[in-house]
Amino acid sequence: MFENYVSLIGRTNVGKSSLFNMFLNDNISISTSCKNFTVDSKVACLCNSDENCFLLSDNAGIREFNDVDLFNKIKKNIFYYIKNSKLILFVISAIDGITFLDIEIAKILRTFNKKVFLIVNKSENFNFYTSNLDFYSLGFKDIFFTSSSNNIGIKDLLHNFIVPFLKKNNFFFSYKKCIGNFYFLKDLKVLKNFNKSFTTISVLGKQNVGKSTFINAIVNKNRLISNNYSGTTTDSIEVPFLYKKNKYIFIDTAGIKRCKDFSSKIEFLSIRKSVASIKNSDVILLIIDATKDISKLDFYIVNKIILFEKCFFILVNKWDLLSENKKISFKKKLKFFLDKIIYVDYFFISAKNKCNLFSIFTSINNIKRLLKKNYSSSILTKILKKVINRYKPPLFNKKRITLKYANLISKRPFRILIHGNRVEGIISSYKKYLINSFSKYLYLKNIPLKIFFKKNNNPYI
């Protein structure tokens, strides 16, 4: 990843995430009035028509946390972005005025000797003439008044100050050096699938199964905040990664739980973004905790993945914590679990000890290879004939259902159309038999397959 950040820095609840979203004109970062919601740093890439780009990072609010370990990890993460930034956007609140913590943050920023723009946010009702607040006392000469809730001063700040500063100091870089989606500076529209030479991988699972730890181990960097208690990850975070000349984006998601267990609207939004990440990904990694039983919630997540027709496989994490007898018992439960779903790979890993992690790339590359193969109608029809010769379709209205030929209608998602007579009489168990048979004949491991039927217009063929 090209490290050339413009970073939003400030205490909690001053509107950093809201400003981040307004710069992009897209709600990619969850913004809320709840304090301390943002934990991990979120990064987006903005570029202009000349293919010049810069990275914008939204960071956690600086404050004390009850959990010392979590506080130290967040502080280290924030300092990483400050150190690697070309420009700091120091955000304070016009409503709160200058606080003691703002003064302390200003002192910290001066020690890094970085260019700083002071952003006085929430200034829609701020009276410049009657106020006694002296924002220059923080020691920064470039001061801008904005309101993310009313979209005041944001376009002017971006186009007339941030972009010219970066251009003047030659801080732009080519988008070809960066992995991911990009946002146009001109009209602030996202360029979906722009330079789409990468594979997007969402990491899903219940809370505290080790999703963040797994991604940190893969990229060999503490990019994501991980902690022992559940719910540390609150937003979906993209982490670019280059491995053997192939580009990947890992998406760390909030732990999924049942609807009745939601304790707040914010938790609901976090999990909704986790589910949405399934739709936008090429491959899904479902992480299961080996120290706990496979639950109905794991089955629910798998069904969601299959519903979206996404390629996926399963990682059983914390495998090193089980005894040999417990490993044997877990494998039996896993086999029973997998028999209910599709033909899928699974790996036993330890994210903490970095054991058996990179074997996943073999499966990912195999998925890409299978989706590039040519599946002609003649090949699919031959398989269809083998399958129906083994078990003939059932009777419908006392007449035999006839299946004539098959053709591929799409690879992403993988769908096959079978033509025949009286196909409306196909029962669910026989359809499942067809799906399983085609999956095995075509070696569609980890690739959900859907089969559709079309009735022939001519009753004599």
Structural domains of the chain ordered from first start: 5-189 (3.40.50.300), 198-372 (3.40.50.300), 377-455 (3.30.300.20)
What 3-state DSSP class applies to 224? coil
Q: Which residues pair with 234 in a beta bridge?
A: none
Q: Which two tokens stand for residue 89?
A: 């956007």
CB 161 within 8 A of CB 144: yes
Q: Which residues pair with 237 in a beta bridge?
A: 252
DSSP alpha helices (H): ranges in 259-342? 265-279, 296-307, 324-338
pLDDT in tens, 383-438: 999 999 999 998 888 888 899 999 999 998 899 999 999 899 999 899 989 998 99
| C-alpha gyration radius of the chain | 26
| pLDDT higher than 60, residue 76 | yes
Report pLDDT for 10: 92
Average pLDDT of the residues of the chain: 83
At 262, the pLDDT band (50, 70, 90 cuts) reads: very low
CB 313 within 8 A of CB 285: yes
Supply the DSSP symbol for 415. E
What 3-state DSSP class applies to 454? strand
pLDDT in tens, 449-460: 999 999 876 544
Q: Which of 75, 85, 96 has the alpha carbon at shortest distance from 33?
A: 96
CB 414 within 8 A of CB 450: yes
Distance CA 54, CA 180 (A): 13
Angle at 42 between CA 121 and CA 150, to 5 degrees: 30
Q: Which of 167, 169, 170, 148 has the alpha carbon at shortest distance from 159?
A: 167
Is this structure's pTM higher than 0.85?
no
SS (H, E, C) 160-216: HHHHHHHHHCCCCEEHHHCCCCEEECCCCCEECCCCCCEEEEEEEECCCCCHHHHHH
Q: Which two tokens stand for residue 453?
A: 């039927």
Residue with tokens 């990483």: 80
Cβ atoms < 10 Å from Cβ of 428: 7
Report pLDDT for 149: 85
Cβ atoms < 10 Å from Cβ of 293: 9
Query: How would you classify residue 446: left for phi > 0, otherwise alpha for psi between -120 and 50, otherwise beta?
Result: left
HSE-up of residue 326 (Cα within 13 Å, Cβ side)? 11
pLDDT in tens, 14-70: 989 889 988 887 766 555 444 544 566 788 888 876 777 898 999 888 775 555 666
pLDDT in tens, 328-362: 999 998 888 887 666 788 899 999 999 999 989 98
Note the Cα 189 to chain centre separation in Å.
Answer: 19
The mean pLDDT value for 80-86 works out to 90
pLDDT in tens, 172-216: 887 777 777 778 776 556 665 455 678 889 998 888 888 888 988
Q: Which of 378, 386, 365 has the alpha carbon at shortest distance from 441?
A: 386
Report pLDDT for 395: 87
Supply the DSSP symbol for 445. T
Report pLDDT for 39: 61
Better-predicted residue by pLDDT, 284 or 398: 284
Q: Which of 65, 64, 121, 111 has the alpha carbon at shortest distance from 89?
A: 121
Q: Which two tokens stand for residue 26?
A: 């897209």
Q: Which two tokens stand for residue 406?
A: 């098959």
Report pLDDT for 326: 93
What 3-state DSSP class applies to 341? coil
Cβ atoms < 10 Å from Cβ of 398: 5
| pLDDT higher than 80, residue 73 | no
Distance CA 415, CA 263 (A): 39
Percent of the chain with pLDDT strictly greater than 90: 33
- Burial (CB < 10 A; 0-12, 13-18, 19+), residue 176, is exposed
